[in-house]
Structure 1
Amino acid sequence: MIYLDYAATTPMSEEALTAYTKAASSYFGNSSSLHDIGSHAAQLLHICRQQLAELIGGDERGLYFTSGGTESNLLAVRSMIEAHRHKGNHLITTATEHASLYHLFQQLETEGYEVTYLSVDRFGQIDLAELENAITPQTILASIQHANSEIGTTQPIQEIAKRLRKHGVIFHSDCVQTFGKIQVDVQKMGIDSLSISSHKIYGPKGVGAVYIDPRIKWTSCFLQATHEFGFRPGTVNVPGIASFVTAAQQACEHLADEHARLEHLRQYTISRIHEKRLPVAIEGHPDAHLPNILGLSVQGMEGQYAMLECNRYGIAISTGSACQVGKQAPSRTMIAIGKEEDEAKQFVRISFGKWTTLNEIDRLLTVLETICQQRKE
Structure 2
Amino acid sequence: MIYLDHCATTPMSEEAGQTYIKTSQSFYGNEQSLHDAGDSAGQLLDHCKKELASILNGEASGFYFTSGGSDSNITALLSLAYGNQGRGTHIITSPLEHPSVYQALEKLKSEGFEVEETAVQPNGQISLASIKELIREDTILITICHASSETGVIQPIEEIGSLAQDHGILFHCDAVQTFAKIPIDIKKNRISAISMSAHKVYGPKNTGACYIDPAAAWKSMYPGVVHQQGIKPGTIDVPGIAAFTTASLNLYEKRELVTAAWRQMQSWFLKQLNDDVFSLIGDKKKRLPHHLALRAHRREGQWIMLECNRKNIAISSGSACKTSYSDPPKSLIAMGCSPEEAHGLFRISFGVDTTYEELAAVAETLNELAASSMNVQV
Deviation of residue 311 (structure 1)? 0.7
Contact between 2:74 and 2:103, CA under 8 Å: does it hold in 1? no
Which residue is 1:310 aligned to?
Answer: 308
SS at 1:148 equivalent: coil
Partner Cα separation in structure 1 for residue 189 and residue 252 of structure 2: 16
Which residue is 1:282 aligned to?
Answer: 280
Which residue is 1:299 aligned to?
Answer: 297
Deviation of residue 19 (structure 1)? 0.2
Deviation of residue 277 (structure 1)? 3.7
Contact between 1:141 and 1:170, CA under 8 Å: does it hold in 2? yes
Q: Deviations over 1:120-150 (max 9, x none)?
A: 1111111111111110001000101000001
Partner Cα separation in structure 1 for residue 231 and residue 205 of structure 2: 20
Which residue is 1:205 aligned to?
Answer: 205
Contact between 2:80 and 2:219, CA under 8 Å: does it hold in 1? yes
Contact between 1:331 and 1:345, CA under 8 Å: does it hold in 2? yes
Which residue is 2:318 aligned to?
Answer: 320
Counterpart mapping for 1:21-170 below 5 A: 21-170=21-170
Contact between 1:62 and 1:214, CA under 8 Å: does it hold in 2? yes
Which residue is 1:341 aligned to?
Answer: 339
Which residue is 1:361 aligned to?
Answer: 359
Partner Cα separation in structure 2 for residue 133 and residue 40 of structure 1: 51
SS at 1:120 equivalent: coil
Partner Cα separation in structure 2 for residue 220 and residue 104 of structure 1: 14
Counterpart mapping for 1:123-272 below 5 A: 123-272=123-272
Contact between 1:66 and 1:210, CA under 8 Å: does it hold in 2? yes
Letter in 1 for 2:326: Q
Contact between 2:78 and 2:108, CA under 8 Å: does it hold in 1? no
Partner Cα separation in structure 2 for residue 206 and residue 114 of structure 1: 31
Partner Cα separation in structure 2 for residue 375 and residue 167 of structure 1: 57
Deviation of residue 212 (structure 1)? 0.8
Aligned residues: 375
Contact between 1:278 and 1:369, CA under 8 Å: does it hold in 2? no
More displaced 10-residue stretch of structure 1: 242-251 or 109-118: 109-118
Contact between 1:147 and 1:155, CA under 8 Å: does it hold in 2? yes
Deviation of residue 65 (structure 1)? 1.0
SS at 2:80 equivalent: helix
Q: Deviations over 1:81-111 (max 9, x none)?
A: 1111111110000011000002221232221
Over the residues paired in the alignment, what is the CA RMSD in angstroms? 1.2
Partner Cα separation in structure 2 for residue 31 and residue 12 of structure 1: 24
Deviation of residue 278 (structure 1)? 4.6
How high is the TM-score relative to the length of structure 1? 0.97
Partner Cα separation in structure 2 for residue 372 and residue 133 of structure 1: 43
Partner Cα separation in structure 1 for residue 294 and residue 46 of structure 2: 43
Partner Cα separation in structure 2 for residue 284 and residue 249 of structure 1: 29
Contact between 2:91 and 2:140, CA under 8 Å: does it hold in 1? yes
How high is the TM-score relative to the length of structure 2? 0.97
Q: Does 1:7 align with 2:15?
A: no
Contact between 2:162 and 2:189, CA under 8 Å: does it hold in 1? no
Deviation of residue 326 (structure 1)? 4.5
Partner Cα separation in structure 1 for residue 231 and residue 148 of structure 2: 27
Letter in 2 for 1:155: Q
Contact between 2:55 and 2:183, CA under 8 Å: does it hold in 1? no
Partner Cα separation in structure 2 for residue 350 and residue 263 of structure 1: 13
Letter in 2 for 1:133: E
Deviation of residue 159 (structure 1)? 0.7
SS at 1:252 equivalent: helix
More displaced 10-residue stretch of structure 1: 169-178 or 324-333: 324-333
State the percentage of identical aligned residues.
Answer: 42
Partner Cα separation in structure 2 for residue 220 and residue 375 of structure 1: 57
Point out where structure 2 has 5 or more consecutive residues left out of the alignment.
none
Deviation of residue 164 (structure 1)? 1.1
Letter in 2 for 1:279: V
SS at 1:70 equivalent: helix
Letter in 2 for 1:119: A
Deviation of residue 119 (structure 1)? 1.8
SS at 2:346 equivalent: strand
More displaced 10-residue stretch of structure 1: 337-346 or 296-305: 337-346
Partner Cα separation in structure 1 for residue 276 and residue 373 of structure 2: 13
Partner Cα separation in structure 2 for residue 255 and residue 372 of structure 1: 34
More displaced 10-residue stretch of structure 1: 104-113 or 139-148: 104-113
Partner Cα separation in structure 2 for residue 77 and residue 40 of structure 1: 32
Deviation of residue 376 (structure 1)? 5.5
Contact between 2:161 and 2:190, CA under 8 Å: does it hold in 1? yes
